[in-house]
Amino acid sequence: MSTGSLNRGQNGTFAEPPPQNLSLGVIGNCAFSALIDERGQVVWCCLPRFDGDPVFHSLLGGEDGNGSFAIDIEDLERAHQYYEPNTAVLRTELWDTRGQGLLITDFAPRFQSRGRFFRPMMMVRRVRALQGTPRIRIRLRPRFHWGSVAPLITSGSNHIRFVGDQLTLRLQTDAPLSHVQSGQPFLLTRELNFLLGPDETLEGGISDTARNFEQETIGYWRSWSQRLALPLEWQEAVIRAAITLKLSTFEDTGAIVAAMTTSIPEAPDTQRNWDYRYCWLRDAFFVVRALNSLAEVGTMEDYLSWLTNAVEGSNGGHVQPLFGIGLERDLPERICENLPGYRGMGPVRIGNQAFEHFQHDVYGNIVLGAAQAFHDKRLLHPAGLPEFKRLEVAGERAVQVFDQPDAGMWELRTRARVHTSSALMCWAACDRLAKIAAGLQQTERAAYWQQHARAMRERILREAWSEERKAFAESFGGRDLDASVLLMAEVGFIDPMDPRFVATLDALEKNLCDGPYMRRYEAADDFGKPETAFNICTFWRIDALARVGRVEEARAIFETMLRARNGLGLLSEDTHASTGEMWGNFPQTYSMVGIINAAVRLSAPWDTVI
């Protein structure tokens, strides 16, 4: 998909980047990732992993082009960006005012080698002329310690080293090193390759290695995509969403990051800037379930290993809602003073205070995230009685906290209530444990968990209902509306045709929707009232509409959400209903999950065409 044309540069100049609207592509290999703008500039890349130091940070600002890796064309007139179909290999075409063009191919190597996945901390950039001999300029300016430290630079015959106190990067290239180091423009007369990664020598030649890595990586992603069980309609959107979710996994531990960035505001100039480069149990459950719906169960197996370790460390007590991708428990939040922020809208936050929160829906997310492993016969390591007994610990905690105040799934920092969504997920924990126990022929335990689920359900139906609003409210005894109650139908708590659920959907549409888009809640929070629509809430609305029989409305809103994506098919966390701009961290796994869920639910069946 094209990202469209860009503003024309002045004759004989290298144009500056246009204002950002998250027109970015993502590359990665399940170890790290990088974001690349529509002109082929790497603007964000944390190393050695998702939550590391952003050696390329220009997405959040900086001085004199520092913190970026650009391959510029002189007299830029237009650009065109797209993915190699069914892969995570990104292509960027740049064309000048004289009709000369070049192609940049970007990817992070990932493929099977010697019986395991080869996924080095390496970015490969390949450049070749498409027409004529365009004049180009290389600007490679990594920075360390969140942009505050310039590396020591050394070079050899075919490489440049960027030396920091904790990380050294090596660029291995067949481009003229003098031109790369000086930023001197030169003519592109032959194919050039840039391999930026660890301070190690290559086993083979630069061009041969780059070419082989590209072929193997394309082969891996095409094979992975080919195994997906796709709906009939919207297949390209689903494949792109699935690949993006896969890129959000940290394969070393099985963790899944909520997004790859920090501090992109949820709305302009609001200071709603958060660091999402960690693993939320809530978000990870939704990712696992979406990929499971496409028959991609490998991610679930890896995640369950991570989840088991996270829960075991709680010793049967409180489980925090998020962890570092290496199971780090302390994620203290601080402000990065030397970066101005996305479009100058700071602060830039590192860490996330939510690790200290009590968010009781986490226990439902734990059980729901693991439930399929007890029923799916395809798994290499299906779950059994020992795993069930571990999950029961989370279930007992759900029983204890079901009706206790918490920060809720929206992570309110200064207000605690008995949130309906938290109570709902505690019910889900008990309900699924009952089903798992029945499948394991544990009759007594099934009856035990059914009893708890039944009691919880009765209280939720009674105490979350607001007779004044004729809707389920966001908290027990409350009146404020919250889109998260739509999950009642999605997790099987209530028949979607129940008049109470139908009335709730109507009330939410009247009070939280801006046209097709849906905000999270109506009450003011720590920063006032939300301004932008939260994409996953719009997708919950789509799901609810389909369940109550309003399928054509659901399809129309889904098509609107597909148009809201950037030119590469990616979504951030939020959409501004008036401007259509994307806001919030990017790419947001919640939003990409919504694309998959909506397509699977709304697509015509395959038997209509075969």
Contact (CB, 8 A) for 226 and 559:
no
Which CATH number is associated with domain 227-608?
1.50.10.10
Residues whose CB is less than 8 angstroms from the CB of residue 435 and which lie 6 or more positions away in sequence, other chains included: 371, 446
Rounded mean pLDDT, 221-249? 98
Would you list the DSSP string of 151-215? PEEEE-SSEEEEE-SS-EEEEEESS-HHHHHHT--EE--S-EEEEEEES---SS-HHHHHHHHHH
Residue 247 burial (CB count, 10 A): 24
**pLDDT at residue number 35:** 98
**pLDDT at residue number 412:** 80
Decide if domain 24-225 falls under CATH 2.70.98.10. Answer: yes
**DSSP 8-class letter at 234:** S
Tokens representing residue 245 in the block:
């979710």
The tokens 């952003």 sit on which residue? 54
Nearest to 71 by CA among 137, 160, 143: 137
Write out the residue limits of the CATH 1.50.10.10 domain(s) in the chain.
227-608
Give the CA distances from residue 311 to residues 113, 277, 368, 387, in Å, rounded to whole numbers and listed in that order: 33, 20, 14, 11
**Dihedral in degrees, nearest 10, Cα atoms 474, 577, 534, 596:** 120
Contact (CB, 8 A) for 509 and 554:
no
Q: What tens digit of pLDDT does each residue of 471-519 get?
A: 999 999 999 999 999 999 999 999 999 999 999 999 999 999 999 999 9
Write out the residue limits of the CATH 2.70.98.10 domain(s) in the chain.
24-225
3-state secondary structure of 569: coil
Rounded mean pLDDT, 236-251? 98
SS (H, E, C) 197-221: EECCCCCCCHHHHHHHHHHHHHHHH
Residue 94 burial (CB count, 10 A): 27
Rounded mean pLDDT, 29-33? 98
**pLDDT at residue number 610:** 84
Q: What tens digit of pLDDT does each residue of 443-462 get?
A: 999 999 999 999 999 999 99
Q: What tens digit of pLDDT does each residue of 350-409 get?
A: 999 999 999 999 999 999 999 989 988 888 788 899 999 999 999 999 999 999 999 999
Rounded mean pLDDT, 296-308? 89
Q: What is the pTM of this model?
A: 0.95
Rounded mean pLDDT, 424-438? 97
Which range among 94-98, 216-220, 372-376, 410-414 shows the weakest confidence by mean pLDDT? 410-414
What angle, rounded to 10 degrees, do the helices at 420-439 and 362-371 form?
Answer: 30
**pLDDT at residue number 453:** 98
Rounded mean pLDDT, 324-328? 96
Mean pLDDT, rounded, of the chain: 93
Q: How many angstroms separate the CA atoms of 444 and 256, rounded?
A: 35
Contact (CB, 8 A) for 40 and 117:
no
